[in-house]
Amino acid sequence: MNILPRFLNYVSYWTTSQESAGTTPSTSRQFDLARVLEQELISLGVKDVVLDEFCYVYGYLPATEGYPSRKSIGLISHMDTAPDMSGKDVKPNIIENYDGTDIILPNGKVSILVSDFPRLKSLKGKTLITADGNTLLGADDKAGIAEIITAVEEILKRNLPHPDIYIAFTPDEEIGEGSDHFDLNRFQADFAYTVDGDYEGEIAYENFNAASAEFTLKGKNVHPGEAKNIMVNAASIACEIQSLLPEHETPEHTEGREGFYHLTNISGDIGQAKLSYIVRDHNGDLFQKKLDYLEKVKEFISGKYGKDTVTLSIQESYRNMVEIIDNHMEIIRLAEEAITSVGLTPVSTPVRGGTDGARISFMGIPCPNLGTGGYGFHGPMEHIALESMETVVEIICHIVSHVN
């Protein structure tokens, strides 16, 4: 397979997305990789390849003889890397015949510990790929892109029978905007998979219900020497709002399907202040209760300091795809059969986040998520094994050749 040089080429492109940019893509540099993928799909013989003005890359592989009547399938990965850490000038570190122990990265400042990533033990003897400690690697989700394109290459090389296959590479998934301009006219799959997880035997179809929330506070600033009964300290009220939220319903204290309020930013002074939150819960009713509680906090602050003191804006980000996938469990069974065929045990755990597939599922295309084989995403400890990527290629090949 050509997956290793392909992957190393992709991670060399700086595709970090940028929150609050107000454009699609959020960073024009994502086009640099998109143009490479466009040409690569064309060179493989993929049909109807398009790179649109929003930096989405689409392609289509027509069904083989006898398969046009079968359901069409889609494969999706995203081109951007997370703004949590630099994705510029990535220097891959390739460890052949990895010995299964702790890894000191080339910059000498970051270590990947087996105690933090127990699955490292199972990668002993394999070819492990990391960054050098100064950047993230970009396996999230350039591994997924490499796996999809390599699977397409293998499908054609092996003459595997398959239905219509639709391919899409999206921008800005890491900032929750990956499906904002997703073109269903160019992607007419009956169902699809995002390839954007960790364990290579993963098939995930539950994710958070998600929203962002922002409190904006207006204070009244006067000299502290004459402030009694006049001053309204916006910064102090911001602290009070945070104290009103449940102390243990935060990311630091939750796991599994447990939801949370996550304070992502706080800024301001006496005259004005802002608090930004993301709100998450797998359970739809509990999610709504969290949003309702924020409204109650707003009403309490308004009653205490005046109705003009506080405003609250809430914007829904995505919903739990299980609402859709529960009615299409055959696509989960198809993936589980493919995972079993390569000797792995299928694992499905609730995603404590979201994917393009969550929103695309609600756009009419059921779209669970397959693992890529990578771990430690969004930071310097990101790592992936070459053999894991090759296994995902085989899983994809099995899925597309066994669609009913």
Do residues 379 and 85 lie in contact, with contact meaning Cβ atoms separated by under 8 Å? yes
Distance, in Å, from the CA atom of 59 to the CA atom of 47, rounded to the nearest integer, reads 6
Distance, in Å, from the CA atom of 172 to the CA atom of 77, rounded to the nearest integer, reads 11
Distance, in Å, from the CA atom of 10 to the CA atom of 267, rounded to the nearest integer, reads 37
Distance, in Å, from the CA atom of 164 to the CA atom of 64, rounded to the nearest integer, reads 8
In sign, the C-alpha dihedral spanning 37, 42, 48, 52 is: positive
Dmax over CA atoms of the chain, in Å, equals: 85
- Annotated catalytic residue within 80, 132, 140, 198: 80
| Torsional class of 300: left (φ above 0), alpha (ψ -120 to 50), beta (otherwise) | alpha
Task: Output helix, strand, coil percentages for the chain, rounded to the nearest 5.
Answer: 30, 25, 45
Neighbour-count burial of 158, counting CB atoms closer than 10 A to its CB (0-12 exposed, 13-18 middle, 19+ buried): exposed
- Annotated catalytic residue within 38, 164, 173, 177: 173
Distance, in Å, from the CA atom of 305 to the CA atom of 218, rounded to the nearest integer, reads 10
Catalytic, 173? Answer yes
Do residues 377 and 82 lie in contact, with contact meaning Cβ atoms separated by under 8 Å? yes
Q: List the pLDDT tens digit at each of the 404 positions of the chain.
A: 899 999 999 999 999 999 889 999 999 999 999 999 999 999 999 999 999 999 999 999 999 998 888 999 999 999 999 998 999 999 999 999 999 999 999 999 999 999 999 999 999 999 999 999 999 999 999 999 999 999 999 999 999 999 999 999 999 999 989 999 999 999 999 999 999 989 999 999 999 999 999 999 999 999 999 999 999 999 999 999 999 999 999 999 999 999 999 999 999 999 999 999 999 999 999 999 999 999 999 999 999 999 899 999 999 988 999 999 999 999 999 999 999 999 999 999 888 888 899 999 999 999 999 999 999 999 999 999 999 999 999 999 999 999 98
Do residues 343 and 197 lie in contact, with contact meaning Cβ atoms separated by under 8 Å? no
Residue 326 vs residues 6, 65, 280, 322, 323: alpha-carbon distances, Å:
35, 31, 20, 6, 6
Q: What is the pLDDT of residue 351?
A: 87
Distance, in Å, from the CA atom of 394 to the CA atom of 390, rounded to the nearest integer, reads 7
Q: Is 351 helix (H, G, I), strand (E, B) or coil?
A: strand
| Torsional class of 20: left (φ above 0), alpha (ψ -120 to 50), beta (otherwise) | left
| Torsional class of 306: left (φ above 0), alpha (ψ -120 to 50), beta (otherwise) | left
**Taking Cα atoms as reference points, which of 167, 201, 296, 289 lies closest to residue 244?**
296
Q: Is 277 helix (H, G, I), strand (E, B) or coil?
A: strand
Distance, in Å, from the CA atom of 26 to the CA atom of 345, rounded to the nearest integer, reads 38
Q: Is 326 helix (H, G, I), strand (E, B) or coil?
A: coil
Q: What is the CA radius of gyration of the chain?
A: 23
Q: What is the pLDDT of residue 336?
A: 98
Distance of CA 258 to the CA centre of its chain: 19
Strand 73-78 with 57-61, pairing: unpaired
Do residues 339 and 201 lie in contact, with contact meaning Cβ atoms separated by under 8 Å? yes
Catalytic, 80? Answer yes
Q: Which domains does the chain have, with CATH numbers?
A: 3-207+320-401 (3.40.630.10), 209-318 (3.30.70.360)
Phi, psi of 61 (to 5 degrees): -115, 110
Q: What is the pLDDT of residue 334?
A: 98
**Taking Cα atoms as reference points, which of 149, 154, 102 lies closest to residue 128?**
102
Distance, in Å, from the CA atom of 238 to the CA atom of 215, rounded to the nearest integer, reads 8
Q: What is the pLDDT of residue 20?
A: 84
For residue 14, give the DSSP letter: -
User: Beta-carbon neighbour count of residue 338 at 10 Å?
Assistant: 24
User: Beta-carbon neighbour count of residue 1 at 10 Å?
Assistant: 17
Q: What is the pLDDT of residue 353?
A: 83
